[in-house]
Amino acid sequence: MYIFALITIAITVILSQLLIQYNLYSQLSDSRIINISGKQRMLSQKLTKEILVLNFATDSLQKTTQIDKISKTILLWKSNHNALVNGSDRLGFPKEKNPILTRYFKNIKPNFDTIIKVTNTFLANKKQNINEPENIKLIQTLLANEKVFLSEMNQIVSEYDSEALEKVTLQRKTEYIILAFTLFVLLLEFVFIFKPTTKKIEALISNLLSSEKKALKLAQNSEIISEAKENSVKELKSLNYAMENTLLYCRIATDGTIIHIGEKFSKLLQYNPFQTGTKFGEVLSPIENEQLFIDRIVLQNNRRGWQGELNITTRAEQSLWLDLSMIPVTIKKDESELLIICFDITERKKAVQEVERLNTANIENKFNQQKIISSKIVENQENEQNRIAREIHDGIGQMLTGLKFSLESINLDDKEKAAVKIEYLKKLSLDIIKGVRTATFNLMPPELSDHGINSALSKLTQELSKLTGKNILFYNKTDFNSRLDSLIEINIYRLTQEAINNAIKYADSTHIIVQLSHSATLLSIIVDDNGKGFDINAVEKKRNSESGMGMLFMKERIQYINGRVFFNSIPNEGTRITFNVPI
């Protein structure tokens, strides 16, 4: 019943917490809805303002910039409105709404659609620089509908706020009910469980006291007392024999003089146990400084006892570590002595020192590896910067120089030659654009930041296949298309890029396959090649070689994102590198 009571209280508390957490999650969703609803009013005003700015813009570059801003604003506005109307699992918006909100959204739909239609028509006219009179009418229509839209959105925000207030009020009442129920359960448990249990314990203690009195009366029998004494003597003899042969112990007076020393302890210290009047410090060590230290411990702690570790030098000039406990024992009213119990911990101390030595060596080795890694990272950065500089100077720079000279050499009077040069300049411009895109792709592929790791790896394999002529394929086996943290995505991309480049540069492979798959908690990328392979154990031993450092770099880099890398390679058959990253 006592356990049942505790379980009941625990279940009540857990249910209360679950309900509170559920209501808190609901409140977060309501807060997000109110925030987005309010943001819709701001976006509608922003859209109107940007259209007015565009209408009075004269510069072509300013028009183009303003059109892009309006396109982004209307895209966000439509996305938020659709999430509010139809619900959104990503934002936690419900699909079902109360009748009042349904009516409000139905009333606002014509104004929303009109604003979208007017904006699209206005942008189309501005892109073609036509229909200025029509644009003025479109702006007037936009302003009229925007005013109605703001009014309706105010009502929607107010309704969402009222709903949130009702939920909070309901949660408060529910928590009061749960609190009252918990207190009621505690009261019932006190009346029917705890109080009866206390009475039973009191009765049990009373019975125990009664039994104790009966036992004391039985102990008065002389034969029982005599037998008990005899048994005690036997037990003491057995205990004394066990202590003599198993424990390192001795008895000393409060001034440090040896009273008795165990056989095993005397053998360890090479001391004659029948010799009397010797100080405990002289028995432990022949070194004078150590003797003084031990005697000082005995004199300062002979009343309260002492426990600690001692390092002494034996008569054989060997270092000995003892875990020593000194316990005061009262023999008579005015007479006491000290019981010394020791344990030989020399081997344990040696093991600890060896572990510390190995840890120090391991730390130094790790530090040296980090220094090598740091220097290699700096070297790779310098090489990458030099490579980018060469690409820009030898490729893009020369083409820009050629473009400049060709522009200067155009003679507009000779139309045929001018037309030929213009065609050549178009082709040269395309080559320059391609070179710039290749350089920026090598630095940071736009697919990675815009679409995620799936699109970035697909683009990477396509580009490398075109550049190298190798057969490089990418497979998304589980249709993974989610976004990860930017740090995780860039590290996964760089690791995969390095694995492919190694397969191209060192393995002489003709076919490379990159596979991406995932589960609920793990993202896995496998890079297979049909190259010449290598001996993993031999490479790991050669830390200073380029291949050995490459494996170490991969291990260090994937640790930054709490991942793991596995290498499998068979000489003359191929290599598989697997990256596993938690998601």
pLDDT of residue 43: 84
pLDDT tens, 172-226? Answer: 888 888 888 888 888 888 888 878 888 888 888 988 888 888 878 887 776 776 6
**Residue predicted with more confidence, 572 or 228:** 572
The answer to whether 485 and 499 are in contact (CB under 8 A) is no
Q: Report the alpha-carbon distance of residue 61 to residue 391 in Å, rounded.
A: 31
Burial class, 142, CB count within 10 angstroms (exposed 0-12 / middle 13-18 / buried 19+): buried
Are residues 22 and 130 both part of a single domain? yes
pLDDT of residue 439: 59
pLDDT of residue 476: 95
Residue 330: partners with Cβ closer than 8 Å, 6 or more residues away: 336
pTM for the complete prediction? 0.35
Q: Report the alpha-carbon distance of residue 531 to residue 151 in Å, rounded.
A: 68
pLDDT band (50, 70, 90) for residue 368: low
The answer to whether 30 and 163 are in contact (CB under 8 A) is yes
Average pLDDT for residues 68-89, to the nearest whole number?
A: 84
**Residue predicted with more confidence, 399 or 485:** 485
pLDDT exceeds 80 at position 2: no
Q: Report the alpha-carbon distance of residue 484 to residue 525 in Å, rounded.
A: 14
**Residue predicted with more confidence, 543 or 279:** 279
The count of domains in the chain is 4
Are residues 288 and 361 both part of a single domain? no
Are residues 411 and 522 both part of a single domain? no
Indicate whether 476 belongs to any domain: yes
Indicate whether 93 belongs to any domain: yes
266-269 contacts, C-beta under 8 A, 24 or more apart: 268/314, 268/320, 268/344, 269/314, 269/315
The answer to whether 487 and 524 are in contact (CB under 8 A) is no
What DSSP designation does 88 have?
Answer: B
Q: How many helices and strands in the chain, by DSSP H and E?
A: 17, 10
Q: Report the alpha-carbon distance of residue 326 to residue 340 in Å, rounded.
A: 5
pLDDT of residue 233: 58
Average pLDDT for residues 425-450, to the nearest whole number?
A: 71
The answer to whether 496 and 542 are in contact (CB under 8 A) is no
Indicate whether 220 belongs to any domain: no
Are residues 171 and 41 both part of a single domain? yes
Indicate whether 238 belongs to any domain: no
Indicate whether 129 belongs to any domain: yes
- The region of weakest confidence among 58-62, 218-222, 465-469 is 218-222
Q: 295: domain CATH number?
A: 3.30.450.20
pLDDT exceeds 60 at position 159: yes
Are residues 169 and 154 both part of a single domain? yes
pLDDT of residue 242: 61
Are residues 331 and 352 both part of a single domain? no
**Residue predicted with more confidence, 243 or 145:** 145
pLDDT band (50, 70, 90) for residue 385: low
Neighbours of 539 (CB within 10 A): 19
The candidate with the shortest Cα–Cα distance to 305, out of 365, 232, 254, is: 254
Neighbours of 317 (CB within 10 A): 8
Q: Report the alpha-carbon distance of residue 172 to residue 562 in Å, rounded.
A: 42
Q: What does the mean pLDDT of the chain come to?
A: 81
pLDDT exceeds 80 at position 314: yes
Are residues 520 and 577 both part of a single domain? yes
Are residues 475 and 439 both part of a single domain? no
pLDDT exceeds 90 at position 514: yes
pLDDT band (50, 70, 90) for residue 566: very high
pLDDT of residue 581: 95
- The region of weakest confidence among 70-84, 496-510, 533-547 is 533-547
pLDDT of residue 98: 83
pLDDT exceeds 80 at position 450: yes
Burial class, 193, CB count within 10 angstroms (exposed 0-12 / middle 13-18 / buried 19+): middle
Indicate whether 235 belongs to any domain: no
Percent pLDDT > 90 in the chain is 14
319: helix, coil or strand?
A: strand
Q: 456: domain CATH number?
A: 3.30.565.10
Average pLDDT for residues 373-389, to the nearest whole number?
A: 55
In one-letter notation, the amino acid at residue 179 is: L
pLDDT of residue 79: 86
Domain boundary among 344, 375, 396: 344
Domain boundary among 314, 344, 374: 344
Are residues 18 and 111 both part of a single domain? yes
pLDDT band (50, 70, 90) for residue 39: confident
Indicate whether 225 belongs to any domain: no
Indicate whether 506 belongs to any domain: yes
SS3 per-residue string spanning 357-418:
HHHHHHHHHHHHHHHHHHHHHHHHHHHHHHHHHHHHHHHHHHHHHHHHHHHHCCCCCCHHHH
pLDDT exceeds 70 at position 109: yes
- The region of weakest confidence among 59-63, 282-286, 477-481 is 59-63
Q: 93: domain CATH number?
A: 1.20.120.1730
Neighbours of 451 (CB within 10 A): 15
pLDDT of residue 519: 94
Are residues 43 and 157 both part of a single domain? yes
Domain boundary among 305, 328, 344: 344
Are residues 433 and 450 both part of a single domain? no
Residue 388 belongs to domain spanning: 346-443
Are residues 62 and 185 both part of a single domain? yes
The candidate with the shortest Cα–Cα distance to 170, out of 348, 26, 340, is: 26
What DSSP designation does 93 have?
Answer: B
Longest pairwise C-alpha distance within the chain: 143
